[in-house]
Structure 1
Amino acid sequence: MRAIEADNLVVRVGGRRGRNAVNGLGLRLSRGVHGLLGPNGAGKTTLIRTLATVQRPTSGSLSLLGQPVGGGLRPVRRRLGYLPQHFGFYKRFKVREFVEYMAWLKEMPSRRIPGAVASSLERVGLADRADDPMKALSGGMVRRVGIAQAIVNTPDVLLLDEPTVGLDPAQRLRFRELVAELGEQSCVLISTHLVEDVAAACTDVVLVAEGSVVFQGTPADLVNAGTPEHVGDSPIERGYSALITTRSGGAW
């Protein structure tokens, strides 16, 4: 069973006068760590929101963990983990309380929550800050709390939108180790602008442009798509540049 299956998926944003942010997209993802790349406006965040069942598809088909998206979503949502690009919280929450609250929203059994919260905070290096107020944390620490709440229920599908924003280099290295561990048992999809993070952490790369998948393969396949003439500071950046330039006709 594939974790994520989409066929001719369309997601329209902006109402009647809006646009198709996801436009006829096809996707098949199973267990492992998958990187989602693409230029600004390519539809990455809309796709992640749709996979997280926050945004409804306009047309096409989408299945998560073998269940078509459209009817009752609660059983699927219990098995998802989601870190949005921006998330809010009550300022009076302490770190532990916030992750406990998110575990409760995921309908985790009450007896499991304390141990799961402690484990998730340990995995992101925040066990010693569990009783600190959220409002007192740095931006990078808030991001790590966001990762903790996303993994607290040991999800079968983990969706992370720009998870390394605000993390320092050492924290990014630890994050790569963490997602590699998670990908052994789950389907992890990471949306990011940092091509090097994809090269280091992901077994599979999905490149989207104008709402559609234009490439899916290994990081090595992405490297092979470029040449020394393409823009980029590394082979994988040049491969990305080659595919995006071909799609956009050389435009920014």
Structure 2
Amino acid sequence: MRAVSAVETTATTHPWAIHAEGLQVRAGRHLAVNGLDLALGTGVHGLLGPNGAGKTTLMRALATVVAPAGGRLALLGHPVDGRAELRPVRRDLGYLPQHFGYYPRFTVREFVGYMAWLKEMPTSALPEAVQRAIDRVGLTARADARLKTLSGGMLRRAGIAQAIVNDPRLLLLDEPTVGLDPEQRLDFRELLRDLGTDSCVLVSTHLVEDVAAACTDVVLVNEGRLVWRGTPEVLAAQGDASHAGDSPAERGYSALLRQHRAEAAR
């Protein structure tokens, strides 16, 4: 049932942005990612899976927030383990957690600028980079508003701005469209497609339609393992009217999960 994505068949002259072999990552005492093999390059990749599938734990490991418990992981050509120097990776990394912290009294501009400084961007480049990131997420008019005055959707956009301010080669977005209205989601999909032209973007979401509309391929995980990988078009072809979902992509997602669970129960 595994489909081969366009990313896997495209020639590349640089290392995979994400290369995991037998990756294991713990969430507390639980092995939330268990033996994951994954290689991702330039493009927009959608990460799907049910609650408890290990998506957020995987994203935290890829963001170097937690160290792998086993296996091998390399990001942008750099090995990631308990002994590795992570600063070169973090300079080229952008990360939006599912729940991100911020200073309520900071303005949007101050917050994005502070995060750019933490990423060790050159001081001379900060004003232009900060303004560009704010403009790209549609917060130009609120750039000097304090974060505590923003709506949930605006806060999420500020979080996206800090993730992209350094033009990262590897961008990790965990549930980025939470709180965005339909028009903002459409704008975000366009932004994703633009970002994916020269970066590796991994988007974890429960919104299958966002993946179908903006991603070059889909990664489906369950119980910490890779279940399926393929293009959105192939994903949509996996289901039919007997499967749960309001769209072909959602029905394909449901069909693949049902098949995986049936195989696991044998």
Shorter-normalised TM range: over 0.9
Residue 132 (structure 1) aligns with: 145
Residue 23 (structure 1) aligns with: 34
Q: Which amino acid is 2:49 matched to?
A: G
CA distance in 1, matches of 2:137, 2:179: 14
* 1:187-217 Cα shifts (integer Å, max 9, x gaps): 0000000000000000100000000010011
Residue 238 (structure 2) aligns with: 225
The equivalences for 1:111-190 within 5 A come to: 111-190=124-203
Residue 237 (structure 1) aligns with: 250
TM-score after normalising by structure 1: 0.96
Secondary structure of 1:153's aligned partner: coil
> CA offset at residue 247 of structure 1?
2.1
> CA offset at residue 76 of structure 1?
0.6
Retained in 1: the 8 A contact 2:63–2:93? yes
> CA offset at residue 246 of structure 1?
1.7
Match of 1:192 among 205, 213, 224: 205
> CA offset at residue 228 of structure 1?
2.0
Match of 2:65 among 30, 54, 57: 54
Q: Which amino acid is 1:245 matched to?
A: R
> CA offset at residue 250 of structure 1?
10
Secondary structure of 2:193's aligned partner: helix
Secondary structure of 2:124's aligned partner: coil
TM-score after normalising by structure 2: 0.91
Which is worse superposed, 168-177 or 122-131? 122-131
Q: Is 1:7–2:18 an aligned residue pair?
A: no
Query: Matched residues, percent identical?
Result: 67
CA distance in 1, matches of 2:226, 2:143: 40
Secondary structure of 1:112's aligned partner: helix
> CA offset at residue 109 of structure 1?
0.5
CA distance in 1, matches of 2:77, 2:176: 26
* 1:58-102 Cα shifts (integer Å, max 9, x gaps): 000000011111210001100000000001111211110000000
> CA offset at residue 245 of structure 1?
1.1
Q: Which amino acid is 2:45 matched to?
A: H
Q: Which stretches in structure 1 are left out of the alignment for 5+ residues? A: none
> CA offset at residue 223 of structure 1?
1.3
Q: Is 1:86–2:99 an aligned residue pair?
A: yes
Q: Which stretches in structure 2 are left out of the alignment for 5+ residues? A: 1-14
Q: Which amino acid is 1:216 matched to?
A: R
Match of 1:37 among 12, 32, 48: 48
> CA offset at residue 226 of structure 1?
1.3
The number of equivalent residue pairs is 248
> CA offset at residue 116 of structure 1?
0.2
CA distance in 1, matches of 2:78, 2:255: 36
Q: Which amino acid is 1:21 matched to?
A: A
1:250–1:134 distance in 2 versus 1, CA, 3 Å = farther
Give the RMSD, CA atoms, in angstroms.
Answer: 1.2
Q: Which amino acid is 1:103 matched to?
A: A
